[in-house]
């Protein structure tokens, strides 16, 4: 994203004529985007920027001479200093319900809370969702788009040998992202719809809680689905328990939710997650991109039918990116 605007006349800081000029507001945005967003480090669970700035501190970060000159402009115009940021520990996974979910001996009580506190979402017969396959054996056979047969191992975020899962999404591009397909792949897409209402445990919901982030079930589930393979055991037990309690599947947040919207993970205001602010609930909810995990073999079981099957051709690939400081 380009900040500032074209203006004639000399820049009051560097003296150059013409070019893009930055006022106070775009300069503040650039400081946040480059130094804060650009220094974000993701951990096994959670993550945080390593640099912050405010008007109360002087600059103390160690940078090269070129960046030091640029920082001088931010200091002069915004009256701020840049410093090494020590995050609140919840930002890097010190969340009690999350730690319990990862502990085989302690997770049962937390999973019981998840089933009690998260809403049920019914996917109706008029709703469509999609499943993409790479080089299926018989591309026009609807059975190719069902859950893999038992002899094919399942080791996904929610699936295991005793809990087979069909993954799908209401967004076609999320199917591509989740499976890391490339332009080299021969892809086919099935448009699916339920034959009856599907009762799904909705883990994309933002819970309203009266506790800090350290004790937040909402934050625990949020981090679990943004975590890597260390999160899989806990997530699979949630899936197994939901199935055993009669759910047809889960609605769960995509691992790529934040990147789909171009948002930095775990946004805070003065160290408090935005998810706790009531006025921000609907916005935070909108950032959670839903995927579907349906238990069993829903096509063979007759609760999902294939409407259409088509080839899927990736015709264009584009990325949005920004820069951050190269600090060791």
pLDDT 10s digits, 308-321: 999 999 998 888 89
pLDDT beyond 80 at 17: no
Q: Is the overall model pTM greater than 0.75, yes or no?
A: yes
Give the tens place of pLDDT for each residue, 244-266.
999 999 999 998 888 888 888 88
Stretch 138-162: mean pLDDT: 93
Please give the share of the chain, as a percent, with pLDDT higher than 90.
Answer: 73
Query: Which range has the worst mean pLDDT, 141-150, 206-215, 270-279?
Result: 270-279
Task: Say if CB 45 and CB 213 are below 8 A apart.
Answer: no
Stretch 269-290: mean pLDDT: 86
pLDDT category, 1, cuts 50, 70, 90?
A: low
Stretch 122-149: mean pLDDT: 96
pLDDT category, 2, cuts 50, 70, 90?
A: low
Q: Quick one: pLDDT at residue 217?
A: 98
Stretch 129-148: mean pLDDT: 96
Give the tens place of pLDDT for each residue, 197-246.
999 999 999 999 999 999 999 999 999 999 999 999 999 999 999 999 99
Higher pLDDT, 171 or 270: 171
Q: Quick one: pLDDT at residue 232?
A: 95
Query: Which range has the worst mean pLDDT, 40-54, 165-179, 271-285, 289-303?
Result: 271-285
Domains of the chain, by residue range, sit at: 5-42+51-84, 93-312
pLDDT beyond 80 at 299: yes
Query: Taking all residues of the chain, what is their mean pLDDT, rounded to a whole number?
Result: 92
């Amino acid at each position: 994203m380009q900040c500032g605007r074209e203006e004639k006349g000399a820049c009051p800081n560097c003296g150059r004529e013409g070019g893009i000029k930055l006022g106070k507001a775009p300069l503040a945005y650039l400081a946040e985007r480059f130094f804060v967003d650009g220094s974000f480090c993701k951990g096994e669970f959670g993550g945080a920027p390593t640099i912050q700035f405010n008007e109360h501190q002087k600059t103390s970060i160690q940078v090269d001479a070129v960046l030091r000159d640029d920082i001088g402009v931010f200091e002069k115009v915004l009256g701020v200093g840049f410093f090494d940021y020590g995050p609140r520990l919840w930002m890097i996974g010190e969340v009690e319900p999350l730690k319990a979910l990862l502990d085989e001996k302690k997770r049962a009580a937390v999973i019981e809370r998840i089933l009690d506190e998260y809403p049920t979402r019914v996917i109706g017969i008029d709703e469509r969702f999609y499943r993409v396959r790479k080089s299926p054996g018989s591309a026009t056979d609807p059975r190719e788009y069902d859950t893999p047969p038992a002899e094919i191992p399942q080791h996904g975020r929610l699936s295991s040998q005793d809990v087979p899962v069909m993954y799908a999404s209401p967004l076609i591009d999320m199917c591509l992202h989740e499976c890391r397909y490339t332009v080299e792949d021969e892809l086919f897409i099935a448009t699916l719809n339920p034959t009856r209402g599907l009762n799904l445990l909705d883990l994309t919901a933002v819970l309203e809680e009266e506790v800090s982030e350290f004790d937040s079930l909402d934050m625990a589930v949020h981090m679990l689905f943004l975590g890597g393979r260390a999160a899989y055991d806990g997530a699979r037990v949630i899936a197994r328990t939901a199935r055993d309690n009669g759910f047809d599947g889960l609605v769960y947040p995509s691992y790529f939710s934040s990147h789909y919207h171009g948002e930095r993970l775990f946004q805070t205001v003065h160290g408090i997650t935005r998810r706790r602010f009531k006025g921000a609930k609907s916005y935070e909810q909108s950032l959670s991109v839903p995927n579907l995990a349906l238990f069993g073999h829903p096509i063979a079981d007759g609760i999902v039918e294939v409407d259409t099957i088509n080839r899927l051709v990736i015709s264009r690939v584009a990325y949005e990116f920004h820069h951050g400081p190269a600090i060791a």
